[in-house]
Amino acid sequence: MNIFRMVGDLLHLVSILILLFKIRRTKNCMGISLKTQELYALVFVTRYLDLFYNFLSLYNTLMKIFYLLATFGIIYLMRFKYKASYDKEHDNFRVLFLIAPCAVLALLINQELTFFEVLWTFSVYLEAVAILPQLFLLQRTGEAENMTADYMFCLGMYRTFYIVNWGYRYYYEGHTQWIVWLAGLVQTGLYCDFFYYYVISKYYGKNLSLPN
């Protein structure tokens, strides 16, 4: 494992911890898309079925378990404990328009037409677009609290460092994985506009806000 992969994993971990901390500290889930969290839960469930039959390392196993437990924990907090603060009116992205195309694409374009491989490929495609409901919610409300913006920034940078990791592995190891690479580029591309306004907000010391 190289430094870029490690930093990417750390940013992914930190993003989830920031979100959990934000919800617990403020005792609300305002500005957070439940639909995005549920899409990530679907991503992790379909990707990490290999927990039951494929042991790579203790690090890998613990990270998978954390992602699953933390994501379902966030969903629990939003659906039940702090349900009253959930902005259902604005969090109305139709996720079926993301899930269905990803499922069809996974059946058509994959590395091997087997049950687990198709599910894994589906998770790769879905992760690339899972942030869209959160970005849509941000666009609808026009602004985000600092910790919510920090969560989104770390999540976007996690995939950015993974892209660097892929380039590093290709150069030094000759490793290629075109499906993951293309999906990762799409995923990072979706953050570009957000990254710009995030940097601007930090420079001026204000909450992230979008222009009218």
Residue 202 CB contacts under 8 Å (≥ 6 apart), including other chains: none
Are 75 and 34 contacting, i.e. CB atoms less than 8 angstroms apart? yes
By the 8 A CB rule, do 208 and 143 touch? Answer: yes
pLDDT at 163: 95
What pLDDT does 131 receive?
97
Q: Give dist(CA 102, CA 131) in Å, integer.
A: 14
- Measure the CA–CA gap between 43 and 131, rounded to whole angstroms: 12
In angstroms, the first-to-last Cα distance of the chain is 44
Residue 178 burial (CB < 10 Å; 0-12/13-18/19+)?
Answer: exposed
C-alpha closest to that of 89 among 151, 130, 140: 140
The number of beta carbons lying within 10 Å of the beta carbon of residue 90 is 14
**So what's the pLDDT on residue 87?**
93
pTM for the model = 0.94
According to DSSP, the residues that pair with 208 across neighbouring strands are: 144
Give the residues of the chain that fall short of pLDDT 50.
none
The reported pLDDT for the residue numbered 178 is 93
Model pLDDT, residue 209 = 85
Rounded to 5 degrees, φ, ψ at 209 are -140, 150
The C-alpha torsion from 15 through 17 and 18 to 20, rounded to 10°, is: 120
pLDDT at 30: 94
- Residues for the chain: how many in total? 212
What burial letters (b/e) apply to 97-121, b meaning 16+ CB within 10 Å?
Answer: ebbeebbebbeeebeeeeeeebbbb
